[in-house]
């Protein structure tokens, strides 16, 4: 796996200290043996689809701990990222110490505070499964995307395997914590964008039997 620029555990300790429950976003699982393999693979799959081009104005929807912001910042002239948790100021302080330039905002994917046709690249990773109104979320992504913009979206796949994995790591079952499923998400994406690639993990499994997917879509 090629190296991608990520915040490291020591960088994120102020966030771990402030948010002892760590219930709003995934953080420690990126650093735990075994568990980190699929979580880091998900990021790598997304970055591979984003590709090496330089974006003028890139948006990350759901930046969480900010772990991926260093890599995204290296690929765009202007990086904006949104989330809804209460620790955004801490993430701002963390990335400032790493000289990562990004505008971090508290905002809702269902009503984003950006003009139409703003971004030429958008990443939305492990967000849409928590959104009940999938059609509105996808419409908002389309609204803020420029013509020909690249959209990269990923989420877990709802099946017996993901339920087992979630239960094994001490989490509630996928079907208990998520408000949408991969079929609903992909169908709504296809209704609004041209899907050019879909990657699954593990790669040898078909979509409906995999753990998660990441896809590339284009605004026609």
Residue 18, Cβ density class (10 Å: 0-12 exposed, 13-18 middle, ≥19 buried): exposed
Token pair of 72 as six digits? 């995204």
Residue 187 lies in a domain: yes
Residue 118 lies in a domain: yes
Give the E-state strand segments of the chain in sequence order. Answer: 58-61, 79-83, 103-106, 119-125, 145-156, 194-201, 212-218
**Which domain range does residue 142 map to?**
13-218
Query: H/E element holding 185?
Result: helix 182-192
* Average pLDDT along the chain: 90
Residue 158 lies in a domain: yes
Torsion of CA 49, 108, 38, 177, to 10 degrees: -140
**Which conformational region is residue 171 in: left (phi greater than 0), alpha (psi within -120 to 50 degrees), or beta?**
beta
pLDDT in tens, 132-160: 999 999 999 999 999 999 999 999 988 76
Residue 3 lies in a domain: no
Domain count for the chain, please give it. 1
Is the pLDDT at 1 greater than 50? The verdict is: no
CATH of the domain at 21: 3.40.50.150
pLDDT in tens, 48-103: 999 888 999 999 999 999 999 999 999 999 999 999 999 999 999 999 999 999 99
């Amino acid at each position: 796996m090629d190296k991608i620029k990520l915040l490291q555990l020591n960088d994120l300790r102020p966030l771990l200290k402030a948010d002892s429950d760590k219930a709003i976003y995934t953080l420690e699982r990126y650093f735990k043996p075994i568990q980190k393999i699929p979580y880091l693979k998900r990021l790598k799959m997304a970055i591979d689809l984003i590709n090496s081009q330089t974006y003028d104005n890139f948006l990350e929807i759901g930046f969480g701990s900010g772990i991926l912001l260093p890599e995204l910042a290296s690929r765009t002239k202007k990086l904006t990222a949104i989330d809804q948790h209460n620790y955004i100021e801490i993430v701002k302080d963390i990335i400032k110490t790493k000289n990562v330039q990004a505008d971090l905002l508290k905002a809702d994917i269902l009503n984003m505070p950006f003009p139409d046709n703003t971004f030429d690249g958008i990443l939305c990773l492990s967000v849409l499964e928590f959104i009940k109104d999938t059609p509105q979320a996808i419409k908002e992504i389309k609204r803020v995307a420029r013509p020909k913009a690249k959209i990269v979206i990923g989420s877990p796949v709802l099946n017996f395997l993901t339920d087992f994995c979630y239960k094994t790591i001490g989490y509630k079952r996928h079907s208990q914590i998520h408000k949408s499923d991969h079929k609903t998400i992909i169908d709504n994406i296809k209704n609004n964008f041209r899907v050019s690639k879909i990657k699954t993990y593990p790669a040898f499994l078909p979509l409906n039997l995999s753990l998660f997917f990441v896809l590339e879509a284009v605004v026609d």
